[in-house]
Structures are given as structure tokens and as C-alpha cells.
Amino acid sequence: NTKELSVDHRLTQVCELLMENIPYYNWVGFYFKNGDKEELKLRSFAGEPTDHEIIPFGKGICGQVAVSNENFVVPDVKAQNNYIACSIHVKAEIVVPLFVNGENIGQIDIDSHTPDPFSKEDELFLEFVNEKVAEILEQ
Ligand code: SME
């Protein structure tokens, strides 16, 4: 429907804005819980297309955040055993859950080609971005 399309478009714009303005954000995407299924589905992104459009809960960094409800900062992806590689260029990743009415409904996922680039500032900034996105979703 038209409303979902315009939300998708706005989410894509958010991804593009972040990727174009923050040099160490090399892939930006939003995953959402896929209906009643125990999995995440990619809804919008900027950067190279990924094969991982569906991620089961518990799998990879994203799947772990779907169940932990907590930010996950990965300074070095090689040091993670529960990690799903999307590109050989990726060195680090950050995933911040997206809450609507206190419920974890999805997440923003960012990959970086720079080692250990993410600070507390990124976490706070991405929490703020997700609060704004939650407002878009509630409209
Ligand atoms: N690396 C993620 C998978 C998604 S890609 O980064 C786009 C993970 O381990 O969950």
C-alpha cells in the first residue's frame, strides 16, 4: 500500500543520508521483525545489496540484538563467532534496536570498513535516529 511505500522510501533516505555523511558508515540498513516469524527481514538499506535479507533470531549480530534488546558494538568482526559476513571489506559493525511503545520491533545495522570506528557517541546518535524513525512508523 501507498503508506508502506512512503515509509520504505523515507527509511531508505535515512540510510542514504547516514552513509553519505559519515565516512566510516559503509553500509546502513533497517531490519524488522518479520510478522509472527522468529526472524528479521531487511526493509531498507544503502550500500551494496546483501544476500542476508532474512536473519533468524539468535543468528549473527543482528539476530542476537533481536533477542537481547541491547546495542551491540563489534570493534572487530573477526573476533565474533556468531557473525554473518555480508562483505569481505567489513571490519566492524554496530546494531542498535528500534523500540516502538517499548517493544523491540527491529534495528538499525551499520557496517564499517574501518577497524574499531564506533564510540558511545555513535550509540547515542543511532538511538536518537531510531527514536525519530519510530515516530515515522507510528504516523
Ligand atoms: N553482519 C550481520 C548480518 C547483516 S549484514 O551486516 C548486512 C550479522 O552478523 O548479523
Task: Name the burial class of residue 132, with classes exposed (0-12), middle (13-18) and buried (19+) by CB atoms within 10 angstroms of its CB.
Answer: exposed
Residues in the ligand 1 pocket, defined by CB under 6 Å: 27, 29, 50, 52, 55, 60-63, 83-84, 86, 93, 109, 111
- Distant-in-sequence, close-in-space partners of 125: CB < 8 Å, separation ≥ 6: none
Share of the chain above pLDDT 70, in %: 100
How many other C-beta atoms can be found within 10 angstroms of the C-beta atom of residue 109?
28
Q: What superfamily does domain 2-138 belong to in CATH?
A: GAF domain (3.30.450.40)
CA of 111 to the centre of ligand 1 (A): 8
Which residues share a beta bridge with 99? 104
pLDDT for the residue 96: 99
CA 84 – ligand 1 centroid, Å: 5
Ligand 1 centre from 30 Cα, in Å? Answer: 11
Instruction: Tell me what the pLDDT averaged over the chain comes to.
Output: 96
pLDDT of residue 12: 97
Q: What confidence tier does 46 reach under pLDDT thresholds 50, 70, 90?
A: very high
- pLDDT for residue 1: 73
Whether 15 contacts 30, CB under 8 Å: yes
Q: Where are the domains of the chain?
A: 2-138
Report pLDDT for 4: 80
* pLDDT tens digits, one per residue of 48-100: 999 999 999 999 999 999 999 999 999 999 999 999 999 999 999 999 999 99
